[in-house]
Amino acid sequence: MDRIIGIDYGRKRTGLAVSDPLGIFASALDTVHSANIIDYIKKYAENESVVRFVVGYPRNLDGAPSEAASDVDAFLKLLAKSFPDTPIDLEDERFTSVLAHQAMVDGGMKASRRRDKEEVDKISAAIILQGWLDRRSGGVGTSFAANMDSIPDNLSASRGRSSRNKKRGR
């Protein structure tokens, strides 16, 4: 089944996400030491058909590439050399770490896990990939990053009173 891999590349760690076979939803996959990322993807591709990469590209608020862009540029060259027949798309990664933290809070993740940078990296990769999938489909997808305000109160305890507390009259 065809998969698209989302990548949040960093100097030390790289977060990975993967699409569902229909290319509608992104799910956090793993966080890997950046030195091992190509080997990890090659091993993954032995079992799954990887048809595209979506790589988060670091930009400043003015849209210009940030300092970290040179690291991503070097990684992009290595990725293209290692997977010459697989297309690579770039996705703006501004604010993905902030959105990842908010998604973890909204999802009820314990504070100890929210401090784990590996969790943040793979969730950031999922946000990067989901944004790309949503735009490709004309915005039909369900990007939690873009639609956090549309989550019904009864699905998110962090939005005021939880549904359990509402039933109890609190």
- Which of 123 and 102 is assigned the larger pLDDT? 123
Domains in the chain: how many in total?
Answer: 1
pLDDT at 129: 94
Q: What is the pLDDT confidence band of residue 105, given thresholds at 50, 70 and 90?
A: low
First to last CA, the chain: 47
The closest alpha carbon to 102, from 114, 89, 87, belongs to 114
pLDDT, tens digit, 9 for 90 and up, residues 50-69: 999 999 988 877 877 778 78
Statement: residue 140 has pLDDT above 50? no
- Which of 105 and 163 is assigned the larger pLDDT? 105
Domain that holds residue 154: 2-167
The closest alpha carbon to 14, from 103, 66, 86, 74, belongs to 74
What is the Cα–Cα distance from 52 to 56, expressed in whole angstroms? 13
CATH code, 110: 3.30.420.140
Bridge partners, residue 57, by sequence: 92
E-strand spans in 13-151?
13-19, 26-33, 49-57, 88-92
Task: Give the burial class of 72: count Cβ atoms within 10 A of its Cβ; 0-12 exposed, 13-18 middle, 19 or more buried.
Answer: buried
